[in-house]
Amino acid sequence: MKFSFLSEYRIRKAERDGQLEGLKGEGKPLPKAGDGDFSENVGFRIMAEAGALPKEIELKREEEAQLKVLQRTTDPNARKSEMKKLADIQLRRAIQEEARRKYYSQD
């Protein structure tokens, strides 16, 4: 059974049973699309609320923090070192994202 069919079936059943009423955010507009697929963002938000973030999200936060460090660094040698750290974080994040995409494209 395809995942999309199963998930659609479960959503419709939950609607009929009234399980989707009174949920957090009901009646509010959907968030604007950020980087990535909306369904991914929802999944990441659910995981974050449960206290379990995927490695790529942790790396995204590291990248944002490293960008701030780089902006504050003025010494050319120190800046070069900070740029290497940023490049390493970006590479590890890209690897994680690619692995996730390959995993989900195997239907």
Q: Angle at Cα 82 formed by Cα 79 and Cα 87, nearest 5°?
A: 125
Looking at residue 86, its pLDDT comes to 95
pTM of the model: 0.54
Question: What gap in Å lies between CA 72 and CA 77, rounded to an integer?
Answer: 13
pLDDT band at 14 (very low <50, low <70, confident <90, very high): confident
How many residues comprise the chain? 107
Q: What is the pLDDT of residues 22-42, one digit of tens each?
A: 877 777 876 665 555 667 777
Looking at residue 18, its pLDDT comes to 85
Question: What gap in Å lies between CA 107 and CA 102, rounded to an integer?
Answer: 10
DSSP string, 79-98: HHHHHHHHHHHHHHHHHHHH
